[in-house]
Amino acid sequence: MQERVVYFLGAGFSQPRGLPVMSNFIDKSKELYRLNPKDHDFVEILSKIASTAIATKYFKADLNNIEEILSILEMSGELEPQPEEGESTVESFRKYIADVISAYTPPIEPVQQIEGRGDWGEYVFGDDSVWKDYGQFVASLHNLTIGMYEKGGHPYLGWQQTRNTETRYDVISLNYDCVLETVCDFLNRHSQHAEYSLRFQRTESDTSASELGLPWLAKLHGSVDKPEDIIPPTWSKTLDKAIKEQWRVAHQLLSEANHIRVLGYSLPTSDAYVQYLLKSSLVRAERETFVPLKTFHVITLDSDGKTLDRYKGFVNFRGFQFANIKIEKYFQRIEPEKERSSTGRRGVEFQFITLEDTHSEFMQEYGTQS
């Protein structure tokens, strides 16, 4: 019977790519504005952020944490009279968040004439080692084979997906960025492939993705490619229709999971809703899907010295393991199998089919049980 694995991604998952997190988001946006004031119109929002310093005259406040700052501003926007014209507070937050994150997500730069290189396998995802790490992770989720093929005497890079009958992967993300989607888009543009595009299933209406067995990607806080759906990191996390679909899908995926793998998420106390989502999904699993949860693995750096304790206080399950380590170490362990190409093809093929063995070995080496 096919095992169902759900990867649950926090901010630490994308941090190696240089993306801002809650604690440095404001500083990164200020730097972005300083370098490109014409491209990033943050004057009004940064002015509002600066105004919240008044609160520190009376109360303790972390003015470096975007969640606390935007929550103060949103409360004011909800309760104080606002001008009839112009953007709402929430709309301005959404644009601000999308602009900053998009600016800090660099494109994958292709290596020119990769077809002529004997070591082409090292440069499938460009010559950036960080993008290579994410690329190999995405390729593993899709069970890809990437090879150098030949047609009409001309070599070309191509990929093909095969259905994994033993393991299905799906992803739930708390992040706004499009790191995973960027890898798919890069492969679609710079290699030849099947009749369909490589992607994650993002909506229930994408029935073709479901029929092809493509992994789900449920984004609980919205995504920068759809700024209108972004849920700002504030006290009021209202779920509109589009985001409710993402939460409904995530709830379903978790209730059907045999294995939940948390990457780069510290389980902050302010995110009680995440705990409720996980608990609710397991109630559903026991009541409706009858799928046993076998493992709950967490891979994240315990940067505040309290992350492991928070997980221990939350997870009451024998299958729990915690690896206190940078997420880059996990990515770097993912390597494809190299196979000699069949007749009529050039060189070798790289088969991204070793994720289960890699994960098991990684947790045996770094994982600690409660």
Does some domain include residue 65?
Answer: yes
In this structure, how many other beta carbons lie within 10 angstroms of the beta carbon of residue 49?
Answer: 20
Question: 176 and 50 share a domain?
Answer: no
Question: 267 and 342 share a domain?
Answer: yes
Does some domain include residue 221?
Answer: yes
Band of the pLDDT at 343, cuts 50, 70, 90? very low
Across the range 219-239, mean pLDDT stands at: 87
Question: 79 and 127 share a domain?
Answer: no
Q: Which residue has the higher pLDDT, 88 or 330?
A: 330
Across the range 306-333, mean pLDDT stands at: 96
Question: 354 and 248 share a domain?
Answer: yes
Give the burial class of 34: count Cβ atoms within 10 A of its Cβ; 0-12 exposed, 13-18 middle, 19 or more buried.
exposed
Give the burial class of 169: count Cβ atoms within 10 A of its Cβ; 0-12 exposed, 13-18 middle, 19 or more buried.
buried
pLDDT tens for 77-130 read 777 766 666 567 788 889 999 999 999 999 999 988 776 676 788 899 998 999
Q: From CA 353, how far away is CA 144, in angstroms rounded? A: 8
Cα 53–Cα 59–Cα 61 angle in degrees, nearest 5: 55
DSSP state at residue 228: G
Across the range 307-319, mean pLDDT stands at: 95
Does some domain include residue 152?
Answer: yes
Question: 307 and 251 share a domain?
Answer: yes
Out of 42-46, 149-153, 211-215, 235-239, give the one with best mean pLDDT: 211-215
Question: 97 and 139 share a domain?
Answer: no
Range from 42-51, 124-133, 302-311 carrying the lowest mean pLDDT: 42-51
Across the range 150-160, mean pLDDT stands at: 83
Share of residues in the chain with pLDDT > 70 (%)? 94
Does some domain include residue 53?
Answer: yes
Band of the pLDDT at 347, cuts 50, 70, 90? low
Q: Please say if the pLDDT value at position 180 is more than 60.
A: yes
Q: Please say if the pLDDT value at position 251 is more than 70.
A: yes
Q: Please say if the pLDDT value at position 54 is more than 70.
A: yes
Q: Please say if the pLDDT value at position 148 is more than 90.
A: no
Band of the pLDDT at 20, cuts 50, 70, 90? very high
Across the range 343-365, mean pLDDT stands at: 86
Band of the pLDDT at 344, cuts 50, 70, 90? very low
Domain final residue pick, 39, 71, 103: 103
At residue 207, the pLDDT reads 92
Does some domain include residue 7?
Answer: yes
Across the range 215-235, mean pLDDT stands at: 92
Band of the pLDDT at 341, cuts 50, 70, 90? low
Supply φ then ψ for residue 96, to 5 degrees. Answer: -60, -50
Who's near 345: CB < 8 A, 6+ residues apart? 147, 148, 149, 150
Question: 88 and 188 share a domain?
Answer: no
Tell me which residue range forms the domain holding 128: 3-18+120-369
Cα 349–Cα 353–Cα 356 angle in degrees, nearest 5: 155
Residue type at 205? S
Q: Which residue has the higher pLDDT, 141 or 46?
A: 141
Alpha helices in 219-354 (DSSP H): 241-255, 272-284, 307-314, 327-332
Identify whether the C-beta of residue 268 lies closer than 8 Å to the C-beta of residue 306. no
Domain final residue pick, 103, 130, 153: 103
Question: 207 and 346 share a domain?
Answer: yes
Across the range 16-31, mean pLDDT stands at: 91
Range from 77-81, 141-145, 201-205, 303-307 carrying the lowest mean pLDDT: 77-81
pTM value is 0.93
Q: Which of 125, 101, 138 is nearest to 331 (CA)?
A: 138
How many domains, in total, are found in the chain? 2
Q: Which residue has the higher pLDDT, 155 or 354?
A: 354
Does some domain include residue 297?
Answer: yes
CA 84 to chain CA centroid, nearest Å: 37
Question: 91 and 196 share a domain?
Answer: no
**Tokens encoding 219:** 């984004």
pLDDT tens for 195-217 read 899 999 999 999 999 999 999 99
The pairing of beta strand 368-369 with beta strand 144-151: unpaired
Question: 155 and 35 share a domain?
Answer: no
Mean confidence (pLDDT) of the chain:
89
At residue 367, the pLDDT reads 96
Identify whether the C-beta of residue 254 lies closer than 8 Å to the C-beta of residue 172. yes
Identify whether the C-beta of residue 300 lies closer than 8 Å to the C-beta of residue 327. yes
Across the range 305-334, mean pLDDT stands at: 96
Q: 145 - beta bridge partners? A: 160, 351
Does some domain include residue 132?
Answer: yes
Across the range 320-336, mean pLDDT stands at: 96
Domain final residue pick, 70, 103, 136: 103
Band of the pLDDT at 257, cuts 50, 70, 90? very high
Question: 133 and 237 share a domain?
Answer: yes
DSSP state at residue 58: T
Question: 128 and 145 share a domain?
Answer: yes
DSSP state at residue 297: E
Does some domain include residue 115?
Answer: no
